[in-house]
Amino acid sequence: MSILDSVRKQITPIHPEGYIFIALFAIVALVLHWLWAPLGWLGGLATLWCAYFFRDPPRVTPVLDGLVVSPADGAICSIGQFAPPPELGLGPEPMQRVSIFMSVFDCHVNRAPVTGRVSRIAYKPGLFFNADLDKASEDNERNGLIIDSTLGRFGVVQIAGLIARRIVSFVQEGQSLGVGERFGLIRFGSRVDVYMPAGARVLIGLGAKTIAGETVLADFRPGEPERHFKVG
């Protein structure tokens, strides 16, 4: 392998959605540098952060029937039984939900937690509370997907956060998704909720860090023992 190939493998790809924002940050940095050099350096750091925010690294997804993988990079901020948003059409009964909070330093490209078909996409305008709060699932702007899989119907909800002002969807109703495939992106801090059908055994604890398309959230296979966690 050549040195050039080695360098290329170390460079994380940037999602095309971020090109315009990186360019705008760079232009502002140049203007600030022209006004006063120290401001230009700060603008340069902001431009580097913007490029880092829109990174889209490849992921190695476990392909095994019964597994549910994380749709987002971040930290688990909520686990429990919650009623899904009414616009998803999943009914009023509580479902197992796992919520992942994404900070402005996490990768914001979202990936499908299971293989299936997108049977519904439901957008709901709303507020912009801190996405780490429970009420964000009810009050914030959100975009929900229903994925029909062999395990049942899953609800995946992208929720805007305190800073986020744009939820981007890459898929359409009727489209098939493979587990770990990209389905959307949220700009600048947000959250993703996963609503699972009955039978899901959660294999992750509160506060755990997740990697989209790689970290296993739950298992539907029979015989998987319940897991407990401690913070050390």
Tell me what pLDDT residue 29 has: 96
The band of 131, judged by pLDDT with boundaries at 50, 70 and 90, is: low
Which H helix or E strand runs over 109?
A: strand 109-111
SS3 content of the chain, % helix, strand, coil (to 5): 20, 35, 45
Closest CA to 71 of 189, 217, 176, 174: 217
Least trusted range by pLDDT, from 23-27, 52-56, 86-90, 132-136: 132-136
Segment 183-219, tens digit of pLDDT: 999 887 689 999 999 999 999 999 999 999 999 999 9
Helices (H) and strands (E) in the chain, counts: 4, 14
Residues with a catalytic annotation lie at 190
Q: Looking at the predicted structure, is the pLDDT value of residue 226 above 80? A: no
Higher pLDDT, 161 or 23: 23
HSE (side-chain half, CA atoms, 13 Å) at 37: 0
Segment 144-173, tens digit of pLDDT: 999 999 999 999 999 986 665 578 899 999
Tell me what pLDDT residue 16 has: 93
Residue 198 contacts residue 152 (beta carbons within 8 Å): yes
Residue type, 138: E
CATH number of 67-219: 2.70.70
